[in-house]
Amino acid sequence: MWPWLLQRVSAALLLFFLMAHLWIEHFMHLGARITYRSVLERLLHGFYVFVDAGLLAVVVFHGLNGLRTVLVENTNDPAAVRAVTTTVWVVGVATFVFGMDVLSPFLFGHPWFRL
């Protein structure tokens, strides 16, 4: 039940986050030139960072939970299902850390894992 229910909950959250993300990135600054500086200033805004970090967490869960559903659909072997679930969780956490690293210069002033 939980994969099914959380897929719906994350879908509802996604509707909010994705609309905010698309609105901020594509429609709020229509016509303005996109430059390194303008994006940097945009991302320094706390609400934008909240939207992007929230979107990242929810979209990674929703996407990989969906992928897991597809992968385990025609297997009845509990061990295979467990293996897929574990793999997907590891990939998901790694993706989230990777995504936060992309955002990190704007959150902490410097990248997490970049030399």
Q: Which residues bind other proteins (CB under 8 A)?
A: 1, 3-5, 8, 11-12, 14-15, 18, 26-27, 30-31, 33-37, 39, 59-60, 63-64, 66-67, 70, 72-74, 76, 95, 98-99, 101-102, 105, 111, 114
Nearest approach, Cβ of 60 to other proteins (angstroms)? 8
Q: Which residue reads 């905010």 in tokens? A: 20
Q: Between residues 45 and 101, which has the closer beta carbon with respect to other proteins?
A: 101
Q: Per-residue DSSP letters for 29-56?
A: TTTS---HHHHHHHHTSHHHHHHHHHHH
Nearest approach, Cβ of 76 to other proteins (angstroms)? 4
Distance between start and end Cα atoms, the chain: 43
Q: Between residues 6 and 50, which has the closer beta carbon with respect to other proteins?
A: 6
